[in-house]
Chains A and B, each alone.
Chain A
Amino acid sequence: MESQIKKIHQQLMSKEISCTDLVQEKLDLLKQNTHNTVNSLLEETALELAKKVDEKIENGQEIGLLEGIPFGIKDVYMVQGTYTTASSNLLKNYKSSYTATAIQKLLDAGAIPLVKENGDSFGHGSSSENTIFGAVKNAINPALVGGGSSGGSAVNVAKDFTTFSIGGDTGGSIRQPAGYNKVYGLKPTYGRISRYGLMAYASSTDCVGPIAKSIEDIRIVLNIMSGKDVKDQTSYASEEILEDAISNASAIKTVGYFKNFIENEAISPEIKQDFLATIEKMKTKGIAIKELDFFNADVLVSTYYTLAMAETASNLSRLDGTNYGARIEGENLKDTYSITRSENFSEESKRRIVGGNQVLSQGFSDEIYLKAQNLRNQISQRFSEDFNEVDVILSPVTPANPPKIGESLQNPLAMYLSDAYTVGFSLGELPTLTIPKGTETGLQITADKKKDAQVLQFANFLNDIL
Chain B
Amino acid sequence: MSKMMTVDILSSIKGAEPSESVNKLFNIIKNANQNNNSNNAVNNNVVSLNDLREDVVIESSKIEKEIIVENFPKEKNGFLVVAKVIED
Contact = CB atoms under 8 A, between A and B. Distances in A.
Interface string B13-28: 1111111011011101
Nearest to A305: B25
Interface stretch (A3-11, A19-27, A91-99, A238-246): A91-99
A281 interface: no
Contacts of A81: 63, 67
Contacts of A378: 34-35, 38
Nearest to B64: A97
Contact of B13 (A329, A341, A372): A341
Interface stretch (A38-46, A110-118, A320-328): A320-328
B33 to A, nearest CB: 9
A269 interface: no
Contact of B84 (A204, A332, A355): A332
Contact of A354 (B16, B32, B70): B16
Nearest to B25: A302
Given A338-B13, A353-B13, A380 B68 contact: no
B74 to A, nearest CB: 7
Interface residues of B, number: 54
A81 B61 CA distance: 13
B41 A233 contact: no
B19 A412 contact: yes
B83 A330 contact: yes
Given A81-B63, A190-B45, 18 more contacts: A80-B67, A95-B71, A302-B32, A306-B26, A324-B68, A324-B72, A332-B86, A333-B84, A338-B13, A342-B14, A351-B19, A354-B16, A355-B19, A361-B10, A375-B29, A375-B32, A375-B34, A377-B39
The 7 closest A-B pairs by CB, nearest first: A327-B73, A380-B42, A97-B67, A302-B28, A336-B83, A413-B21, A355-B22
Contacts of A339: 14
B18 A355 contact: yes
A326 B74 CA distance: 10
A19 B59 CA distance: 36
Contacts of B29: 299, 302-303, 306, 367-368, 371-372, 375
A191 B51 CA distance: 15
A377 B38 contact: yes
A376 interface: yes
Contacts of B67: 80-81, 95-97
Contacts of B63: 80-81, 97
A350 B16 contact: yes
Interface in B55-71: 60, 63-65, 67-68, 70-71
B48 to A, nearest CB: 10
12 contacts: A97-B63, A97-B71, A233-B45, A302-B29, A305-B25, A306-B26, A323-B71, A323-B72, A325-B71, A350-B13, A361-B7, A412-B22
B83 A362 contact: no
Contacts of B18: 354-355, 358
A413 B68 contact: no
Interface in A23-64: none
Interface residues of A, number: 78
A234 interface: yes
A345 B26 contact: no
A359 B19 CA distance: 12
A373 B54 CA distance: 30
A332 B83 contact: yes
A322 B82 CA distance: 6
Interface in A304-338: 305-306, 309, 313, 317, 320-327, 329-330, 332-334, 336-338
Given A342-B13, A350-B16, A354-B11, A299 B84 contact: no
B77 interface: no
Contacts of A333: 83-86
Contacts of B64: 80, 97-98
B41 A334 contact: no
Interface in A170-196: 190-191
Given A324-B71, A350-B16, A357 B10 contact: yes
B45 to A, nearest CB: 4
B30 interface: yes
